[in-house]
Structure 1
């Protein structure tokens, strides 16, 4: 079976956009021609790739499998083009992490990326795991060892958590209230821990990490933060020792095929070195940073 990259590229457009009409606008290829190309590809594969309906094209299980492999081919073709063109900044390394870790990397950008690098950097901030297997990111900082066979990971540290509040007994702090998390961010393990143990005392909530931090710093109540966040924020004070059951590992994860590329390897090594240097802060063993 000899599948052409041109055919796979059209398949990717139809799969991602959900139908021929949208793909026509992107590719400039007529709907009739796209339909024939998809049908020809299905004959080559020997299986239906889409379920066709009036509302669009939906991938079959075989189509889903081909999508993963076609995206791998796409990544390789893009890498080949970047190598051929030799253009500065065309290679962008995407690093996915939670809001607090992304903010930490942003403050330490000079340790991760410099203006002399022949690649760009993008921080992909998300509360949920970003799919590195489908190249939605090149590197990920996660709290668990990767289990997917196409991913590799290395342990780069541990992260401690503690309860923090504004030292002055004002507003919600004086009343013993807690600041909780709402929305998507409420699914993190620390947010669930806080709700399970102090849910009846949560008086105020924020729907993202920064708003919760601002509320606590203003005296609205007590909340749980990673120690590298709380111990680095002058308005906050840790109320007790780190919470043992909330401690997590910190894994740097990459796709096994991309990890050896120069740009990804360079960023990976810099992040690992940065995390080792600040290991005490992340483990909750350093009370204040400059």
Structure 2
């Protein structure tokens, strides 16, 4: 039986996404194409690789045995691409970047065009949602997180520290008692995360100010929280780099801030590709050259 690399690509994509639709999106084909290619692979191997369930496609025992072999072929394919003359020097292809929602929406999205202007054949996919994707499963090429990774095989570097503070709209503050000390916060409304939907315990910002603070509006994303603050919903914790573009938000007790880190992570095999290295260099340069946005309060 002689299967080509494309057959293995379809197998890997479905094993990682567990959905024909998601695998199709990743491979830029139709879901029926994914289904057809998997069925053809199963026929050629004369064994069932996936069990179709209401919750998605699950690997059979035969599929689980094939998975590590398929991943080895994937590594070999990446090495082959690296050694094709001038292939990666063209800086073409797709780069998928996953970030926390605030960084993706309010910093990278407005700057990534500079990378594509320099490399017009690059296609960028920015996943700016509050959850982590897997580098080891090749769901993304570059991953930015708010905590230091613990996976040994992943290459990681700290990009920068960044600060948070309490903010509220001028309209809200004018309608409520003045705040001069922590004790005054008890008379105010707060905006924060939904506890059971937190994707990282490092996001329990309000508890660090005071465990007694109660939220009256909660959201799973920092973007929604910021928009609620702008509308006068209360006081919330916002990163400085987001507050820099929101002139109607005012710092509350500005001398009291929180600090976190941004970590950039990449799979060692993916980092061999020039387009991935170029994207990493671009992201790091953008964040370091504008470090004042991450560490300083907005003026005025």
Contact 1:18 1:58 in 2 (8 A): no
Q: Which residue of 2 aligns with 1:204?
A: 217
SS at match of 2:285: helix
Shift of the 153–81 alpha-carbon distance from structure 1 to 2, 3 Å rule, reads: closer
CA distance in 2, matches of 1:152, 1:119: 23
TM-superposed CA distance for 1:231, in Å, is 3.5
Shift of the 234–92 alpha-carbon distance from structure 1 to 2, 3 Å rule, reads: same
The question of 1:92 aligning with 2:94 is answered: yes
Partner of residue 123 from structure 1, selected from 121, 126, 129: 126
The question of 1:112 aligning with 2:115 is answered: yes
Unaligned runs of 5+ in 1: 40-48
TM-superposed CA distance for 1:142, in Å, is 1.4
Unaligned runs of 5+ in 2: 21-29, 179-186
TM-superposed CA distance for 1:167, in Å, is 2.6
- Taking the TM superposition and a 5 Å limit, the aligned residue runs for 1:32-111 are 34-35=42-43, 37-39=45-47, 58-59=58-59, 63-64=63-64, 66-67=66-67, 70-71=70-71, 73-74=73-74, 77=77, 91-103=93-105, 104-111=107-114
CA distance in 1, matches of 2:189, 2:233: 8
RMSD: 4.1
- Taking the TM superposition and a 5 Å limit, the aligned residue runs for 1:259-278 are 259-278=271-290
TM-superposed CA distance for 1:72, in Å, is 6.0
Shift of the 267–178 alpha-carbon distance from structure 1 to 2, 3 Å rule, reads: same
| TM-score scaled by length of structure 2 | 0.72
SS at match of 1:114: helix
Shift of the 84–119 alpha-carbon distance from structure 1 to 2, 3 Å rule, reads: farther
Q: Which residue of 1 aligns with 2:135?
A: 132
Q: Which residue of 2 aligns with 1:143?
A: 146
Contact 2:165 2:256 in 1 (8 A): yes
CA distance in 1, matches of 2:65, 2:238: 39
Shift of the 199–114 alpha-carbon distance from structure 1 to 2, 3 Å rule, reads: farther
SS at match of 1:128: coil
Shift of the 34–263 alpha-carbon distance from structure 1 to 2, 3 Å rule, reads: same
CA distance in 1, matches of 2:136, 2:223: 29
Shift of the 195–30 alpha-carbon distance from structure 1 to 2, 3 Å rule, reads: closer
Shift of the 32–203 alpha-carbon distance from structure 1 to 2, 3 Å rule, reads: closer
> Which stretch shifts more, 226-235 or 193-202?
193-202
The question of 1:238 aligning with 2:246 is answered: no
CA distance in 2, matches of 1:106, 1:272: 14
CA distance in 1, matches of 2:177, 2:61: 53
TM-superposed CA distance for 1:162, in Å, is 0.8
Q: Which residue of 2 aligns with 1:162?
A: 165
TM-superposed CA distance for 1:154, in Å, is 1.5
> Which stretch shifts more, 252-261 or 82-91?
82-91
TM-superposed CA distance for 1:226, in Å, is 1.1
SS at match of 1:132: coil
TM-superposed CA distance for 1:218, in Å, is 1.6
Deviations 1:63-94 (Å, cap 9, x if unpaired)? 44743652563476489679699698851111
Partner of residue 227 from structure 1, selected from 240, 245, 250: 240
Report the count of equivalent residues: 275
- Taking the TM superposition and a 5 Å limit, the aligned residue runs for 1:167-182 are 167-168=170-171, 169-170=173-174, 176-182=188-194
Deviations 1:92-112 (Å, cap 9, x if unpaired)? 111110111102101222443
Q: Which residue of 2 aligns with 1:44?
A: none
Shift of the 212–50 alpha-carbon distance from structure 1 to 2, 3 Å rule, reads: same
